[in-house]
Chain A
Amino acid sequence: MTASTIAGAPRGRRYFFDERTAYWLMVAPAALLMAAFYFYPLVQVLWISVTEPKPGLGNYAQLFTSASIQRTIVTTLRICVITTAVTLLLGYVVAYVLVHASPRAQRWLFLGVLVPLWISVLVRAFAWVTLLAREGLINTTLRDAGLIDQPIALIWNELGIVIGMVHYMIPYAVLPLYANMRDIDARTISAARGLGGSRFYSFRRVFLPQSMPGIIGATVLVFIFSLGFFVTPAILGGGKTLMIAEYISLQILDLLRWGLGTMLASTLILFIFVLLAALARVVDLKRLFGAG
């Protein structure tokens, strides 16, 4: 989109428009669409955040003064960090197995990873309720086996939320990790083994460092997605754990504090942009999001 791209583009034959005009003409429809349906509403959201209920930065000041907002942010960050860590660990194992599986097993494994993506998040949250509840499958099984007297509180708390979120996020960790691991040359491992490294040593010193871009990419992806979680915490949290997305929705839909809601939404977007910018310095974003 910048001048340097144009300069770098291969020079073709001259037509009616010069190269620069033709370039802009081709970009224009997409740019206009983006402006109308993406940037304009975004600017509107920003605008509301500095004009309602009265003009100024009053809403943003609440980030520093409102205990309620700060608590919600801390809760959100805590849950997202835990979710990301657990998801990454499990996702890494799955991706590792996937890469090393036979093509036939791979197909089944992929099905297992992808099918949940097509199931509504609502259905999945309720499925967890039936499994984790007081009289749910897990608690009754443990009780019948004589392992517990009192049901374990697996749900209606942060644990329940994390379980539900990790389940949802696993594919988003597996896919970038798999893409990355697939490109790791298996011969480097063989070489490490051949030079006398133990299995674990070869993994730690050769495979793991090469999978680092995948890990970083998956981490940021999962973390960013987790920040916007709404349905899962609302259902599995027992009403006690308020995460930022639900907080925003409450402000906008129920409490009619649009200024406050849009401020938090804007802050969230800004935070995500900053994270992505930081990520762009470490890994190739285009590649991460599948643009080859």
Chain B
Amino acid sequence: MREEQTFAQDCAEILREDLVAGRIDRRTFMKGLVALGLTPAVLGGSAALSRAVQAQATKPKEVVLANFGGDAVPAFTDAFAKPFEAKEAVKLVIDGSGPTTGKIKAMVDAKKVIWDVIDSGTGQAAQLGEAGYLEPIDYSIVDKTKLDPEFAYKWGVINYYFSTVLAWDSTKVQGTPTWADFFDTKKIPGKRMFRRTGLAMLEPALMADGVAPDKLYPIDQKRAMAKIASIKADALYWNSGAESQQLMRTGECVMGILWHTRANILERDSNGRIKWTFNQGIVQPGIWIVPKNPPAGSAWAHKAINAMQDPAGQVLLLERMGNGPANPAASALVKPEFAKVNPSSPENLAKQVKFGGEWWMANQDQLTQAFLDMISS
């Protein structure tokens, strides 16, 4: 049974929209209802409204976003925190102290969670999510149309793209090498560089071994590991992005697999001595996760995530750090000089392989250990 809408009710709806959007607070909303001769009960039954009232009532002092620090703190502040504060009148604080998996587990176990949203990856999301340490992503708040649904996971949702690419020292390597060249130490002697977790390291090994880029998943672990083991004597492994940069810059390695953001900085800092390519790079999602019982409340954590899917902030993050916008609509806003280093621009996406997040989520734990065992034996 649908009643005719009265003008007062329409006013209430405007008020409600203002409330949901955060333009007015709960007290003003209530005052408005009283002035219109309505009670909240009149509007009862609207789930969205009661949720909004609830959220408004428990409006947190701040929402805390944890990442791994460095340049990412000021960049995230400008790209995400400032617009969020302006819109919601809630502070978004960036904590760069490094949310390792163990720290998150310890916090949730101790019921002393201090982070609301965490800048994370698929491996961490899978580990923590399945063990009961995360809130599932609430897609009634996070708008799936603002992102590639392929990277909208149960325990995490994409916030930017990054790519694992091949970089080389152009004084020692002629032309543009391929993954096959990377694993051919006879043709091009010298040290090679891998990331030490195995994540997105098995894909290049398989491509070098002749597997077609669209046939990588499910990954043939044995084959990939054997390929990497075949050049073990010439391999070095990095843990942090800074380390990968240092190993290439100091001429320690002639070729390396590293993140495109670091590769880009290297090319700039070495005046083009280090070169890199998106060709057959592995484009991966950086994802937001929400720890169980976040201090600002799950609704506000997801509200922040949703706000950060707005293109403007993501484009700013690309300009500042090289992170590719997750919102496909952002591509149009990217300035041409940044488009060529944007892993998620359509032409660059076409050159790369899409990371098999689902496969890694199911296998990463076991693989990380196996990879460590392989390199340390």
- A interface residues (Cβ-Cβ under 8 A, vs B): 67-68, 71-72, 75, 129, 133-136, 156, 234, 238-242, 250, 252-256, 258
The answer to whether B236 touches A240, judged by C-beta atoms less than 8 angstroms apart, is yes
Q: Which residues of B contact A156 (CB under 8 A)?
A: 236, 252
Chain A, residue nearest B190 (CB): A134
Interface size on B, residues (CB 8 A): 27
From B101, B105, B375, contact of A240 by CB (8 A): B375
The answer to whether A241 touches B376, judged by C-beta atoms less than 8 angstroms apart, is yes
The answer to whether A242 touches B250, judged by C-beta atoms less than 8 angstroms apart, is no
Segment at the interface with A among B159-167, B328-336, B366-374: B366-374
From A68, A71, A254, contact of B101 by CB (8 A): A254
The answer to whether A135 touches B250, judged by C-beta atoms less than 8 angstroms apart, is yes
The answer to whether A253 touches B100, judged by C-beta atoms less than 8 angstroms apart, is yes
B111 at the interface (CB under 8 A from A): no
A129 to B238, CA, bound (A): 14
B367 → A minimal CB distance (Å): 11
Chain A, residue nearest B131 (CB): A256
Q: A134-B251, A239-B238, A255-B365 are known contacts. Are A68 and B102 too (CB-CB below 8 A)?
A: no
A72 → B minimal CB distance (Å): 7
Q: A252-B102, A253-B100, A255-B368 are known contacts. Are A72 and B376 too (CB-CB below 8 A)?
A: yes
Chain A, residue nearest B364 (CB): A255
The answer to whether A254 touches B368, judged by C-beta atoms less than 8 angstroms apart, is yes
B239 at the interface (CB under 8 A from A): yes
B6 at the interface (CB under 8 A from A): no
Chain A, residue nearest B128 (CB): A256
The answer to whether A239 touches B375, judged by C-beta atoms less than 8 angstroms apart, is yes
Q: Which residues of B contact A254 (CB under 8 A)?
A: 100-102, 197, 368
Q: Which residues of A contact B372 (CB under 8 A)?
A: 68, 242, 250
B 222-260 to A, binary, CB cutoff 8 A, 1 in contact else 0:
000000000000011111000000100011100000000
The answer to whether A256 touches B127, judged by C-beta atoms less than 8 angstroms apart, is yes
Most buried by B among A234, A238, A239, A240: A239
The answer to whether B101 touches A239, judged by C-beta atoms less than 8 angstroms apart, is no
Q: Which residues of B contact A252 (CB under 8 A)?
A: 102
Q: Which residues of A contact B144 (CB under 8 A)?
A: none
A258 to B106, CA, bound (A): 10
The answer to whether A134 touches B252, judged by C-beta atoms less than 8 angstroms apart, is yes
The answer to whether B100 touches A240, judged by C-beta atoms less than 8 angstroms apart, is no
B134 → A minimal CB distance (Å): 13
The answer to whether A238 touches B101, judged by C-beta atoms less than 8 angstroms apart, is no
Q: A72-B376, A134-B251, A242-B372 are known contacts. Are A234 and B239 too (CB-CB below 8 A)?
A: yes
The answer to whether B252 touches A133, judged by C-beta atoms less than 8 angstroms apart, is yes
